């Protein structure tokens, strides 16, 4: 099976449309996904892996779907850089850490006693759920609800 440059350009436009639809037109890697799809497609034609030449479009669409799924899997596996501006290995100045600790202590002081105990035990003292449940006399379900509500109350106070 032979393809001319006009057919490849038509396929490229259709693949680009499909990739933009699935990944979003603002995705930085659209052209890379299109190029990878075309590369695999041309390699498959070279190796005579296309069984039915009448369904080349479906074959190409299947390749494109696989490349898109691989791209998404790779994104999920890579850790996201939340603050690209901050250089690696830098430590916040001690004054900022002190301000942060004071803000956390002030927010904890405004919480009810049980919420404060749960949050301190779970996050600051890093106790296990079973240890906290045992010391406060809570069941597993009660603990999860209490922790959720305590975090929500803390978040509201801290943001003020």
Which of 32, 48, 77 is the endpoint of a domain? Answer: 77
- Give CA separation, 22 vs 44, 67, 130, in Å: 23, 11, 44
Are the CB atoms for 122 and 108 separated by under 8 Å?
no
- pLDDT for residue 87: 57
Predicted confidence at residue 5, as pLDDT, reads 84
Based on the structure, what is the number of domains in the chain? 2
Q: Is 12 exposed, middle or buried (0-12, 13-18, 19+ CB in 10 A)?
A: middle
Domain holding 122, by residue range, is 94-159
Residues 106 and 70 in one domain: no
- State how far the Cα of 60 lies from the Cα of 17, in Å rounded to an integer: 13
Please report whether residue 20 resides in a domain: yes
Of 77, 105, 140, the last residue of a domain is 77
CATH code at position 64: 1.10.1740
How many Å apart are CA 21 and CA 15, to the nearest integer?
A: 10
CATH classification of the domain holding 153:
1.10.10.10
> What digits encode the pLDDT tens for the residues 16-36?
999 999 988 888 899 999 999
Residue 146 lies in a domain: yes
Greatest alpha-carbon pair distance for the chain in Å reads: 76
Q: How far is CA 65 from CA 7, 20, 23, in A?
A: 20, 12, 11
pTM over 0.75: no
115-151 per-position pLDDT tens digit: 999 988 888 888 888 899 999 898 988 988 999 999 9
d(CA 49, CA 54): 13
Domain boundary among 77, 107, 126: 77
Judgement on whether residues 72 and 13 belong to the same structural domain of the protein = yes
User: To which residue do tokens 């890379």 refer?
Assistant: 32
Instruction: Give the integer Cα–Cα distance in Å for 38 and 60.
Output: 8
55 & 98 share domain: no
pLDDT exceeds cutoff 80 at 86: no
């Amino acid at each position: 099976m032979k393809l001319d440059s006009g057919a490849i350009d038509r396929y490229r436009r259709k693949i680009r449309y499909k990739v933009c639809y699935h990944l979003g037109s603002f995705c930085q890697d659209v052209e890379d996904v299109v190029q990878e799809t075309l590369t695999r497609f041309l390699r498959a034609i070279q190796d005579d892996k296309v069984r039915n030449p009448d369904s080349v479009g479906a074959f190409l669409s299947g390749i494109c779907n696989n490349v898109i799924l691989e791209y998404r899997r790779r994104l999920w596996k890579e850790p996201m850089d939340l603050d690209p501006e901050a250089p690696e290995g830098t430590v916040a100045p001690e004054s900022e850490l002190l301000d942060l600790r004071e803000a956390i202590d002030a927010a904890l002081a405004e919480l009810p006693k049980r919420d404060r105990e749960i949050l301190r035990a779970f996050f600051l003292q890093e106790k296990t759920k079973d240890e906290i449940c045992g010391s406060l006399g809570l069941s597993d379900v009660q603990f999860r609800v209490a922790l959720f509500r305590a975090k929500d109350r803390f978040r509201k106070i801290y943001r003020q």
